[in-house]
Structure 1
Amino acid sequence: MKQTWSEAVILHWRLPASTAATFMPPGVEPDVFDGSTWVGLIGFHMSAVRLGRVLPVPHVGSFVEVNVRLYSRGADGSRGIVFLSLDAPRLPVVLAARALKIPYVWSRCRSTGTDGPAPVCGYEVERRDGQPASRFVVRPDLSVQADDELSLELTARFGMHTRFAGRTFFLPVSHRPWPLHPAELVHLDDGLLGAAGLEVAGPPESVLFSPGVDTVFGRPWAMPAP
């Protein structure tokens, strides 16, 4: 499967590894870098989805997604993401993903932003079950590249660890390095992290923006039993 992820707003907070460990599937532990593990709140627009080499999915495969993620390392050395939630407005996508035990939530999601000399980009989520919503907006500095080690570590993730049918699997994802820009946090009112069972204090330590990347999903493999 191929996808394009664009207009990504990427927020991160530090998190104790002991807290993140409670969410890891068997055989996987929190990935620690720069002295801690991290939780991310990520919004982007998904488009250009293709199944296999030629089959496009024009409507169902184009939507805004907002996810809450942790960072993981498998016993086989694989480094990836553990998703705590993925909010999306396309019900067929949500149902298909949940059948594979990927924690999608059917929500109203939309992008917000303005053009002009100082453009902003953001995302809004309204959950249909009445749980806390989320709204976050940033102002990217497109004249500067964010190429520091921390920014690269937080975004160079090429797969997902997940639990399915009693086993832990790794789903590889290939893409070029994100083109990254530092961003200023303009607004944040989030309930998604709390709904996922996490508490963070203060504003995010890392605030990034990316125009986007093209991605290719590979064949998943089963992790060795712990």
Structure 2
Amino acid sequence: MTAPPRPPAPGAPPPPEPVTALPPRGLRRTLLTQWWRHLVFVHWPVEPQAVAPLLPPGTRPDVLDGVTYVGLVPFRMERLGFGGGPPVPLLGTFGEINVRLYSVDRRGRRGVVFRTLDCTRLLPVAVAQLVFRLPYRWASMRLETGGGEVAWTSRRIGGGASARVRVAVGERIGRPGPLETFLTARWGLHTDWYGRTRYLPNRHPEWPLHRARLLECDEDLIAACGLPRPDGPPASVLYSPGVPVRFGPPLEV
């Protein structure tokens, strides 16, 4: 007979919520709508103590089997809109590449923390920096597809950090494993919002994920974010054609 789980000790933070392929909660209302397309997920393991100082107050590294991860994720943002309104003309579609860490807050909510989000549109960069305090940077990006391959190239405007990631897309993953789900099924982000940590929740359908083989990865974005330079091959390389996404208003942490 299995013993019931022990309740947390008085004053101890609750355990992290389960890792789920679908959102564990709803949204009070929709703040933003968008599509994410042609995503490439490249992840390396990293020691939790190496990234803990880089997370917002009230959060700690989220771990799987004692290890956390740093991710390099290029994708195409499409049909960005506000509330239930139509997509923003012209400015609502752009390329983006982010470096992200994995976090859990004192309420047990799992999320991501962005160390940088390099983006091709200057106006969304300025708005996101001001309103959400997210570390957007202006960059030029190029997407190439064909022959079963997807390649992203990014370089910051004015020089600086850059990245080129090219993968061969493999078969669809019928049932993602614990690592694939841990790295992709993230239902919010944590950000330091004017000295207060906030959680910005999101909802989207279950990821359509494909295995991918890394053909090329030449980047210095991760080191530019104050993180250890990746040592060795990545632990996970995935591709997704994309999902529609909704974000709700920020919540307290």
TM range (shorter): over 0.9
> How many angstroms apart in 1 are the aligned matches of 2:185 and 2:173?
19
1:2-41 alignment runs, 5 A limit: 2-41=33-72
Counterpart in 2 of 1:47? Answer: 78
> How many angstroms apart in 2 are the aligned matches of 1:11 and 1:19?
19
Q: Give, in angstroms, the shift of residue 113 of structure 1.
A: 2.5
> How many angstroms apart in 2 are the aligned matches of 1:56 and 1:211?
20
Counterpart in 2 of 1:126? Answer: 155
Q: Give, in angstroms, the shift of residue 112 of structure 1.
A: 1.9
> How many angstroms apart in 2 are the aligned matches of 1:75 and 1:51?
29
- How many residues matched? 220
> How many angstroms apart in 2 are the aligned matches of 1:160 and 1:146?
25
Counterpart in 1 of 2:243? Answer: 213
Runs of 4+ in 1 over 4 A off after TM superposition: none
For structure 2, the residue ranges without an aligned partner over 5 or more in a row are 1-31
Work out which of the two has the higher radius of gyration on C-alpha atoms and give 1 or 2.
2
Q: Please tell me the residue identity of whatever aligns with 2:169.
A: P
Deviations 1:10-61 (A, max 9, x none): 0000011001101111100000113300000001111022211123213111
Distance 1:209 1:106, change over 3 A: same
Q: Does the Cα contact within 8 Å between 2:172 and 2:208 map onto a contact in 1?
A: no
For structure 1, the residue ranges without an aligned partner over 5 or more in a row are none
Counterpart in 1 of 2:252? Answer: 222
**2:203 is the alignment partner of 1:171:** no
* TM-score normalised per structure 2: 0.84
> How many angstroms apart in 1 are the aligned matches of 2:146 and 2:175?
22
Q: Give, in angstroms, the shift of residue 216 of structure 1.
A: 0.4
Local SS of the residue matching 2:171: coil
Q: Does the Cα contact within 8 Å between 1:43 and 1:122 map onto a contact in 2?
A: no
Local SS of the residue matching 1:25: coil
Local SS of the residue matching 1:73: strand
- Which of these residues, 62, 77, 85, is aligned with residue 93 of structure 2? 62
Q: Give, in angstroms, the shift of residue 144 of structure 1.
A: 4.5
Distance 1:143 1:161, change over 3 A: closer
Q: Please tell me the residue identity of whatever aligns with 2:133.
A: K
**2:129 is the alignment partner of 1:90:** no
Q: Does the Cα contact within 8 Å between 1:169 and 1:222 map onto a contact in 2?
A: yes
Could you say which structure has the higher strand fraction?
Answer: 1
Local SS of the residue matching 2:90: coil
> How many angstroms apart in 2 are the aligned matches of 1:11 and 1:207?
5
> How many angstroms apart in 2 are the aligned matches of 1:30 and 1:173?
20
**2:144 is the alignment partner of 1:112:** yes
- Which of these residues, 72, 90, 93, is aligned with residue 103 of structure 2? 72
> How many angstroms apart in 2 are the aligned matches of 1:55 and 1:144?
33
Distance 1:120 1:145, change over 3 A: farther
Q: Give, in angstroms, the shift of residue 146 of structure 1.
A: 5.9
Deviations 1:46-81 (A, max 9, x none): 102221112321311101110000000000111100
Q: Does the Cα contact within 8 Å between 1:34 and 1:150 map onto a contact in 2?
A: no
> How many angstroms apart in 2 are the aligned matches of 1:146 and 1:114?
26
> How many angstroms apart in 2 are the aligned matches of 1:201 and 1:6?
28
Q: Please tell me the residue identity of whatever aligns with 2:214.
A: L
- Which of these residues, 143, 148, 161, is aligned with residue 190 of structure 2? 161
Q: Does the Cα contact within 8 Å between 2:172 and 2:209 map onto a contact in 1?
A: no
Counterpart in 1 of 2:169? Answer: 140
Counterpart in 2 of 1:200? Answer: 230
* TM-score normalised per structure 1: 0.94
Q: Does the Cα contact within 8 Å between 1:145 and 1:182 map onto a contact in 2?
A: no
Local SS of the residue matching 1:56: coil
Q: Please tell me the residue identity of whatever aligns with 2:193.
A: F
